[in-house]
Structure 1
Amino acid sequence: MIFTQQWIREWLDASADQAILTPERLVTQLTMAGLEVDAHGPVAATFSGVIVAQVVDVQPHPDADKLRVCTVDDGTQRLQVVCGAPNVCAGLKVPYATIGAELPGADEGKPFRIKKAKLRGVESFGMLCSAAELGLSEAADGLFELPAEAPVGTDIRSYLDLNDTFFELDLTPNRGDCLGINGIAREIGALNGIPVAAPEMPIVPATIEDTFPVSISATDACPRYLGRVVRNIDVAAPTPLWMQEKLRRCGLRSIDPVVDITNYVLLELGQPMHAFDLARLQQEICVRLATPDDELVLLDGKTVQPDTDTLLIADASGPLALAGIMGGEHSGVTENTRDVFLECAFFAPLAVAGRARRYGLHTDASHRYERGVDFGLQAMAMERATSLLLQICGGEAGPVTEQLGDLPATREVSLKPTHVARLLGMTMSDENIISILSGLGVELIAQSDDTMRFSVPSFRFDISIEVDLIEELARVHGYDKLPVTRPAVRMQLPEQPESVVSITRLRERLVTLGYQQVITYSFVEPGLMAAVQASPPPVPLQNPISADMSVMRTSLWPGLISTLKHNVNRQQSRVRLFETGQVFLRREGDHEQTIRQPEMLGGLVYGTREPMEWSQGRQFVDFFDIKGDLETLMGLTGHADTFSFANAEHQALHAGQCARIVLNGRHVGLIGALAPRLQRELDFSQRVFVFEIELDALLAAKVPEFSPLSRFPEVSRDLAIVIEHQVSAQALREVLRAEAGEYLVGLRIFDVFQGDALGKNEKSVALGLTWQHPSRTLGDDDINVIIERCVKGLEDKFNAKLRK
Structure 2
Amino acid sequence: MKVPLNWLTKHLQTDASDEDMITRLTSLGLVVDAVSVPGKAFEGFIVARIVSADRHPQADRLQVCQVETGTETLQIVCGAPNAQAGLTVVLATEGAIVPSNQMVIGKAVMRGVESRGMLCSAAELGLEGDTQGILELEDDIALGTPFAQYMGLDTLILDVDVTPNRGDCLSLRGMARDLAASGVGALAMLQIRVIPATTTETLPVTLSPVAEKEACPLFMGRVIKGVKNGPSPQWLQNALRTVGIRSISALVDVTNYMALDLGRPMHVFDTARLKGGLHVRLSEDGEQLEALDDKTYILPKGLPVIADDAGLVSLAGIMGGKASGCSLETTDVFLESAYFIPRAIARAGQTTGIFSESRARFERGVDKGLVQTGLERATQLILELCGGDAGPVIQVGATKTSPQMIKFAPSSVEKRTGLFVDVSEMTELLEGLGCMVTPLEDDLLTVMCPTWRHDFVIQDDLIEEIVRLKGYDMIPSTPLPKGERTRDFFESAPGSHLRMRREWIARRTLAARGMAETLGWSFVAEEEATLFAEGAPLYPLDNPISQDLSVMRPRVLPSLILTAARNVAKGLLNPALFEVASHYEGIRAQDQKRMVAGVRLGQTGARHWRQKPESVSWTEVKADVWTLLEACGVNMDHLQLESQGPSFYHPGRVASVFAGGQLVAVFGALHPKILKAFNVKGSLVAFEVFLDHLPGEGAPKDALTLSPFQTVARDLAFVLDQKVPAQTVINLVKETDPLIRHVTIFDVYEGEGIPDGKKSLGLTYEMAPFQATLTDADLHDIMDRVIARVETATGGVLRA
TM-score norm. by structure 1 comes to 0.82
Contact 1:739-1:786 at 8 Å conserved across structures: no
Question: Is 1:601 the counterpart of 2:596 in the alignment?
Answer: yes
State the shift of 1:451 in Å.
Answer: 2.9
Residues 96-495 of structure 1 aligned to structure 2 (within 5 Å): 96-103=91-98, 112-115=103-106, 126-129=117-120, 134=125, 145=135, 147-149=137-139, 150-198=141-189, 200-217=191-208, 218-220=211-213, 221-235=215-229, 237-292=230-285, 294-405=287-398, 407-446=400-439, 450-486=443-479, 490-491=485-486, 492=488, 493-494=490-491
Aligned amino acid, residue 742 of structure 2:
G
2:792 & 2:357 partners in 1: Cα distance?
76
Residues 486-505 of structure 1 aligned to structure 2 (within 5 Å): 486=479, 490-491=485-486, 492=488, 493-494=490-491, 502-505=502-505
Deviations 1:656-707 (A, max 9, x none): 6544444444444443445667657767676444323322134632234889
Which shifted more, 596-605 or 668-677?
A: 668-677
Label 1:216 to 1:448 Cα distance change in 2 as closer, same or farther (>3 A). same
State the shift of 1:250 in Å.
Answer: 1.7
Find the partner of 2:20 among 20, 25, 32. Answer: 25
2:612 & 2:82 partners in 1: Cα distance?
65
Question: Is 1:52 the counterpart of 2:47 in the alignment?
Answer: yes
Find the partner of 1:702 among 698, 701, 720. Answer: 698
1:47 & 1:762 partners in 2: Cα distance?
88
Deviations 1:265-312 (A, max 9, x none): 100011111112212323322222233464433333444444443222
> For 2:187, what is the secondary structure of its paired residue?
coil
State the shift of 1:101 in Å.
Answer: 1.6
Residues 32-43 of structure 1 aligned to structure 2 (within 5 Å): 32-43=27-38
Question: Partner residue of 2:512?
Answer: 512
Deviations 1:375-398 (A, max 9, x none): 110122112222222333333322
Which shifted more, 522-531 or 546-555?
A: 522-531
State the shift of 1:781 in Å.
Answer: 4.8
Aligned amino acid, residue 701 of structure 1:
E
Contact 2:66-2:74 at 8 Å conserved across structures: yes
Deviations 1:46-69 (A, max 9, x none): 4422223568879999999xxx74
1:558 & 1:459 partners in 2: Cα distance?
43
> For 1:263, what is the secondary structure of its paired residue?
helix
Question: Partner residue of 1:9?
Answer: 9
Find the partner of 2:743 among 741, 747, 750. Answer: 747
Question: Partner residue of 1:580?
Answer: 580
Label 1:786 to 1:167 Cα distance change in 2 as closer, same or farther (>3 A). same
Contact 2:645-2:654 at 8 Å conserved across structures: yes
TM-score norm. by structure 2 comes to 0.83
Which shifted more, 372-381 or 458-467?
A: 458-467
Aligned amino acid, residue 138 of structure 2:
A
> For 1:583, what is the secondary structure of its paired residue?
strand
State the shift of 1:462 in Å.
Answer: 1.4
Which shifted more, 602-611 or 339-348?
A: 602-611
Query: Unpaired segments of 5 or more residues in structure 2?
Result: none
Contact 1:741-1:786 at 8 Å conserved across structures: no
Aligned amino acid, residue 627 of structure 2:
T
Question: Partner residue of 1:80?
Answer: 77
Query: Unpaired segments of 5 or more residues in structure 1?
Result: 587-591
Contact 1:147-1:241 at 8 Å conserved across structures: no
Contact 1:420-1:426 at 8 Å conserved across structures: yes
State the shift of 1:367 in Å.
Answer: 1.9
2:297 & 2:474 partners in 1: Cα distance?
52
Contact 1:295-1:304 at 8 Å conserved across structures: yes
Deviations 1:165-199 (A, max 9, x none): 12222222221111111100101111224211145
Contact 1:503-1:699 at 8 Å conserved across structures: no
Question: Partner residue of 1:521?
Answer: 521
Question: Partner residue of 1:640?
Answer: 636
Contact 1:210-1:229 at 8 Å conserved across structures: yes
> For 1:102, what is the secondary structure of its paired residue?
coil
State the shift of 1:130 in Å.
Answer: 5.8
Aligned amino acid, residue 743 of structure 2:
L
State the shift of 1:520 in Å.
Answer: 2.5
> For 2:331, what is the secondary structure of its paired residue?
coil
1:796 & 1:305 partners in 2: Cα distance?
72
> For 2:9, what is the secondary structure of its paired residue?
helix
1:505 & 1:594 partners in 2: Cα distance?
24
State the shift of 1:745 in Å.
Answer: 4.1
> For 1:366, what is the secondary structure of its paired residue?
helix
1:581 & 1:698 partners in 2: Cα distance?
15
Question: Partner residue of 1:545?
Answer: 545
Label 1:376 to 1:612 Cα distance change in 2 as closer, same or farther (>3 A). farther
> For 1:377, what is the secondary structure of its paired residue?
helix
1:128 & 1:790 partners in 2: Cα distance?
103
Aligned amino acid, residue 200 of structure 1:
Q
2:226 & 2:570 partners in 1: Cα distance?
58
2:799 & 2:41 partners in 1: Cα distance?
85
Label 1:10 to 1:500 Cα distance change in 2 as closer, same or farther (>3 A). closer
Residues 729-744 of structure 1 aligned to structure 2 (within 5 Å): 731-735=725-729, 737-738=731-732, 742-743=736-737
Aligned amino acid, residue 8 of structure 1:
L
State the shift of 1:486 in Å.
Answer: 3.7
State the shift of 1:91 in Å.
Answer: 8.1
Label 1:553 to 1:130 Cα distance change in 2 as closer, same or farther (>3 A). farther
Contact 1:82-1:124 at 8 Å conserved across structures: no
Label 1:408 to 1:524 Cα distance change in 2 as closer, same or farther (>3 A). farther
Contact 1:750-1:768 at 8 Å conserved across structures: yes
Contact 1:205-1:399 at 8 Å conserved across structures: yes
Find the partner of 1:630 among 625, 631, 643. Answer: 625
Aligned amino acid, residue 478 of structure 1:
G
Label 1:756 to 1:399 Cα distance change in 2 as closer, same or farther (>3 A). farther
Deviations 1:457-478 (A, max 9, x none): 1111111333322221111111
Residues 643-654 of structure 1 aligned to structure 2 (within 5 Å): 643-648=639-644
Contact 1:446-1:453 at 8 Å conserved across structures: yes
Deviations 1:440-496 (A, max 9, x none): 111234466723333211111111333322221111111101222345693313255
> For 1:205, what is the secondary structure of its paired residue?
coil
1:142 & 1:663 partners in 2: Cα distance?
82
Q: Report % sequence identity.
A: 34
Label 1:674 to 1:47 Cα distance change in 2 as closer, same or farther (>3 A). farther
State the shift of 1:325 in Å.
Answer: 2.1
**Aligned residue pairs: how many?**
776
Label 1:736 to 1:700 Cα distance change in 2 as closer, same or farther (>3 A). closer
Question: Partner residue of 1:671?
Answer: 667
Contact 1:74-1:152 at 8 Å conserved across structures: no
Find the partner of 2:765 among 762, 769, 773. Answer: 769
